[in-house]
Amino acid sequence: MMNYFPDEVLEHVFDSIASHKDRNSVSLVCKSWYRIERYSRRRVFIGNCYSISPERLIARFPGLKSLTLKGKPHFADFNLVPYDWGGFVYPWIKALAESGIGLEELRLKRMVVSDESLELLSKSFANFKSLVLVSCEGFSADGLAAVAANCRFLRELDLQENEVDDHRGHWLSCFPESCTSLVSLNFACLKGEVNLGALERLVSRSPNLKSLRLNRLVPLDTLQKLLMRAPQLVDLGIGSYVHDPSSEASNKLKHAIQRCKSIVSLSGFLEVAPRCMSAIYPICGNLTTLNLSYAPGLHGNKLTKLIQHCRKLQRLWILDRIGDKGLGVVASTCKELQELRVFPSDPFGAGNDAVTEEGLVLVSAGCPKLNSLLYFCQQMTNAALITVARNCPNFIRFRLCILDPVKPDPVTNQPLDEGFGAIVQSCKRLKRLSLSGLLTDQVFLYIGMYAEQLEMLSIAFAADSDKGMLYVLNGCKKLRKLEIRDCPFGNSALLEDVGKYETMRSLWMSSCEVTLGGCKTVAEKMPSLNVEIINESDQTEFNLDEGQKVDKMYLYRTLVGHRKDAPESVWIL
Amino acid sequence: MSSENGKLLPETDAGGLNFEATELTLGLPGESRVTSDGVAKLGSKRGFSETVDLSLGDNKNTNKFGQSQIDVPEAAKSPVSKAQVVGWPPVRGYAKRRTKSCKYVKVAVDGAPYLRKVDLEMYNTYQQLLTSLEDMFSCFTIRNYLSDKKLDQVNGIEYVPTYEDKDGDWMLVGDVPWQMFVESCKRLRLMKSSEAVGLAPRTPPKCSSAS
C-alpha cells in the first residue's frame, strides 16, 4: 500500500524518525524506501571511522548535513593504544569538501584532528554551524583560529577534554565582528590564556548564547562581566573561582549570578576557593546538571552545603572526596537524580578519601530514578550490590571500578559474582556494564543469562577460563562492543563463533591468552573483519611464531577492508 | 556456588597446583587464575610481572594485593602504595588534572610551641597565603614585603616569612612567581625579624605579579 504514496509523503514520514537505528531499519524495507531514505538522510553516525569510507558515505547520503565519527578504541583513554594508531579526520573532511556536500555539523570523538583539517573544514562549507570535539588531539589554537575566522554562521564550538598542543590565545579574537550567531562556546580544556577583551565582546554580541564554558585562566572579574552580558545562559562552566567572600568583587559576582535565572547546568570550578561557594547558592535550586569533578579543593562541609541547595539535580559528577557521608547528603537531597559519576581524586594513592559501598547503597536508596552510574570506589560488597540492584532496577549504564583490580568482597572474602549477577538480573534495560573486583567465570554465566539488552561490556582482571568469554558471546545477543584486558581468555573462546563478531562493532583483547595463530584464523575466516595486532615493544619485526601470545588485539567489522594508514606498531592480519 | 569457589578461599587446597605463595608465574593458557592458596594469580598476565612483585605478608586486609613492591622506576615512593598497572584504574589521562593533591607544608613560627600545616594549593597569591598565616598565628605580625606596607602590629614583634625549597635552602617568600613557589616550597618558617637582620632586605624585592 505504501508504494502508492508519493516520495514526498514518505520523506515527510521518515523525517519524524530521528533514531539512527530506526532509519537504518527503514532503509532495509524495500528498494524505494532505501532510495527515499538515503536522499532524505541528514544525520549520520559512524561509530568506527574505519568501518566505512568517506566516499561510500557521500555516495549513499548526498544530502548529508551532520556527521558523527568515532576513531580510537575506548581503551585509548587509558594509554593502551599507541598515539599514532590512527583515527585521522583529514581524509573525511577532504572528501566531503570535494564532494560538494553541505556539511553543517561535525562531531568527533577520539580522533586525530590536525590544524590543516580544521582549516580545510572552515573554508569548505559555507553553512558550517557546529563543531564538537571530544577527547581529540592533534590541533592547536591555530586550527581554532581558522574555524573562528572563516565559519561565518558558527553556532557551536564545543571542545571537551581535548589535548590541544599550542596555547596561544589569539583565536578568540579571530571571530569577526559580524559573527553574532554563537549558541554554544566551550573552551574549558584549553590551557592557555585567551584574549579577555575579545571574549567579552564576543559574548556581548551573541544574544543567542546559551552555553559558555570557560577555561582556568579566565579570572573572576571577567566571569562577572560575562554573566552580566549573558544572563540568558543555560549552561555555565566556570574557570577560575577564587575570591575573597567579603570583597567587592565577590558582591558583584553574586549580583551577576543571581541575574542568571536560566542556568540549569553548572560545571568547571577549575580553580576554586571553597569558602566562596555561597555566591552560587541562589542558582543551585534550578540546577539539573552539576559537574564538580575538576574541583578537588571542594570537599567536606562546603561541598555538602552546596549540594543541599540542589534539589532538582538529575546529573551529578563529583570526586570521591565527597565520601560516603557526602553521598548520603546527595541521597537525601537529590530525589530526581538519574546519573551519578564519582571519580577518583587520587587514583594511585592510598585512597584515604575514597568512597565505599556504603555511599552507593545510600544513593540507591534515596534516588530511585538512578539509571546511570560510574563509580570509582575503594571496595564493594555483594550485599551492597544486591541492595542496589533491588533499589534501582532501572540502570541503563552501570560502571563500577574498584580501585584495587582484584579485590574481593572485604566482608566475606568472596568474589563479586553474586553482586553483579543481581545487577544484571534486576536491571532488564542494562545496556552498558563495566566490571571490577575479584570475579570468576560465574559472573559471566549470569551476564550471558540475564543481560539481554547489553550492548557494551568492559572486563578487566576477571574470570578463570575461556568459559567466561563464551558465556558472554553466546548469551548477549545485542552485544556491540566488548573490551577485555588481563583475562585468561584464549583461542578456544576467540574462535568458537567468529561469525558473532560481524554482529558487533568491535572486540578488544589485551594481555589475554589469545595467540597470533588464533588471530590469524579469525582474519582468514572473516574477511569482513579487520584484525589488528598492536605491538608496542621495541622489536621492529613482529615475531612470526603462531604460538606467540598477542599483546593487544583489536578487531572490528568493516565494509572497506584493510586501512592504509596504520603505523608500524599495528599489523593488520 | 560451584566448587570453583573453593579455590578462592585461602584455606582450601584444590590440589594439583603447587606454587609458592609469593611467586609470580606465567600460567599456561586455560589454567586457573587462582592458585591453591587462593592467591589471585595476576602474574599469569604477560608483562605484568615486570610491573609488580607480589609479596604476601600477614595481611588483615583481605585484599591480596594489599602489600606490593613496585618495580617500575617511576613508581610511587611509598612502599605500601598500590601496585601500578598500565591503564589502571581506568581514568583518562586528561582526567589526571583532577588529581591535584593537596600541597600541605608545615609552618613553623619562631617562639610558637607547635607547628601548623597549610595547603598551598588553597591559595592563588602570596597575599592570600600571608593573610591566612596571619589568621592562623593571630598574635603575630608578618612582615609583608610584597605590599610594601606594614600590617597592623599587635604585639610589636615582626616576622619574616621564609621557606625551605627543594634544594634545602632557606629563601625569602615572595621572590619567585607564585606557582613556582608552590612547587618548590617544602616548608615555611616565620622568622623573627630581629634574627633576620642582615638577611632581610630593606627594600622589597622585585617579584612578578603575586598570581
Nearest to A360 by CA among A393, A311, A394, A327: A327
Checking if the pLDDT of A51 tops 50, the result is: yes
Residues 6+ away with beta carbon under 8 Å from A31: none
Q: Cβ contact (<8 Å) for B122 and A273? A: yes
Instruction: Using an 8 Å CB-CB cutoff, list chain A residues near B100.
Output: 296-297
Q: Cβ contact (<8 Å) for B101 and A461? A: no
DSSP class of residue A405? Answer: T
A215 touches chain B (CB under 8 A): no
Strand partners, B191: B160
Per-residue cell: A371: 539509571
Name the pLDDT band for B123 (thresholds 50, 70, 90): confident
Per-residue cell: A428: 532488564
CA distance A229 to A380: 47
> What pLDDT, in 10s, does the model give residues A191-222?
888 899 999 999 999 999 999 999 988 988 99
Residue type, A125: F
What average pLDDT does the segment A336-351 reach?
84
What average pLDDT does the segment A92-115 reach?
97
Please give the mean pLDDT across all residues of chain A: 93
Ramachandran assignment for A100, one of left (phi > 0), alpha (psi -120 to 50 degrees), beta (any other):
left
Q: What does the pLDDT read at residue A238?
A: 95
Name the pLDDT band for B32 (thresholds 50, 70, 90): very low
Q: Between these two residues, B182 and A178, which has the higher pLDDT value?
A: A178
Residue type, A538: D
Instruction: Using only the alpha carbons of chain B, give its radius of gyration.
Output: 27
- Assess contact for A457 and A483: CB atoms under 8 A: yes
Q: Is A363 helix (H, G, I), strand (E, B) or coil?
A: helix
Q: What does the pLDDT read at residue A192?
A: 84
- Assess contact for A342 and A375: CB atoms under 8 A: yes
Checking if the pLDDT of A27 tops 50, the result is: yes
Q: Which helix (H) or strand (E) holds A387?
A: helix A382-391
- Assess contact for A219 and A244: CB atoms under 8 A: no
> What pLDDT, in 10s, does the model give residues A462-521?
999 999 999 999 999 999 999 999 999 999 999 999 999 999 999 999 999 999 999 999
> What pLDDT, in 10s, does the model give residues A384-394?
999 999 999 99
Q: How far is A100 from chain B (nearest CA, A)?
A: 36
Q: What does the pLDDT read at residue A263?
A: 97
Checking if the pLDDT of B4 tops 50, the result is: no
Q: Cβ contact (<8 Å) for A407 and B63? A: yes
Q: What does the pLDDT read at residue B87?
A: 87
Q: What does the pLDDT read at residue B197?
A: 62
Checking if the pLDDT of B119 tops 80, the result is: yes
Nearest to A294 by CA among A404, A221, A215, A194: A215
Q: Cβ contact (<8 Å) for B101 and A78? A: no
What average pLDDT does the segment A315-344 reach?
96
Of A17-26, A98-107, B53-62, the least confident: B53-62
CA distance A464 to A56: 43
Q: Between these two residues, A469 and A163, which has the higher pLDDT value?
A: A469
Interface test with B, best of A486, A487, A512, A546 (most B CBs within 10 A): A486
Q: Cβ contact (<8 Å) for A376 and B91? A: yes
Checking if the pLDDT of B39 tops 80, the result is: no
Q: How far is B81 from chain A (nearest CA, A)?
A: 6
CA distance A21 to A505: 14
Task: Give the strand pairing for A372-377 and A397-402.
Answer: parallel
Name the pLDDT band for A304 (thresholds 50, 70, 90): very high
- Assess contact for A427 and A398: CB atoms under 8 A: yes
Per-residue cell: A106: 561535525
- Assess contact for A185 and A151: CB atoms under 8 A: no
Q: Report if pTM > 0.80.
A: no
Instruction: Using an 8 Å CB-CB cutoff, list chain B residues near A492.
Output: 30
Checking if the pLDDT of A143 tops 80, the result is: yes
Q: What does the pLDDT read at residue A328?
A: 97
Checking if the pLDDT of B31 tops 70, the result is: no
- E-state strands within chain B: 52-54, 68-70, 104-109, 116-119, 141-142, 158-164, 170-172, 187-192
Instruction: Using an 8 Å CB-CB cutoff, list chain B residues near A442.
Output: 1-2, 4-5
Q: Which helix (H) or strand (E) holds A483?
A: strand A481-485
Nearest to A528 by CA among A563, A497, A558: A558
What average pLDDT does the segment A79-87 reach?
93
Checking if the pLDDT of B24 tops 80, the result is: no
Q: What percent of chain A has pLDDT over 90?
A: 81
Checking if the pLDDT of A244 tops 60, the result is: yes
Rounded to the nearest 5 percent, the helix, strand and coil shares of chain A are 35, 20, 45
Q: What does the pLDDT read at residue A167?
A: 64
Q: Is A544 helix (H, G, I), strand (E, B) or coil?
A: coil
> What pLDDT, in 10s, does the model give residues A543-571?
678 888 999 999 999 999 999 999 989 99
Checking if the pLDDT of B47 tops 50, the result is: no
Q: Between these two residues, A245 and A17, which has the higher pLDDT value?
A: A17
Q: What does the pLDDT read at residue B96?
A: 52
Instruction: Using an 8 Å CB-CB cutoff, list chain B residues near A377.
Output: none
Q: What does the pLDDT read at residue B142?
A: 56
Q: What is the dihedral of CA A124, A130, A136, A140, to 10 degrees?
A: 60
Q: What does the pLDDT read at residue B184?
A: 85
Checking if the pLDDT of A40 tops 60, the result is: yes
Q: Cβ contact (<8 Å) for A488 and B31? A: yes
- Assess contact for B132 and B188: CB atoms under 8 A: no
> What pLDDT, in 10s, does the model give residues B57-107?
333 333 333 333 333 333 333 333 445 678 888 988 655 555 555 678 999
Q: What percent of chain A has pLDDT over 70?
A: 97
The gap between the terminal CA atoms of chain B, to the nearest Å, is 61
Residue type, A191: K
> What pLDDT, in 10s, does the model give residues B164-198?
988 889 888 888 888 788 888 999 998 887 776 65
Q: What does the pLDDT read at residue B196?
A: 66
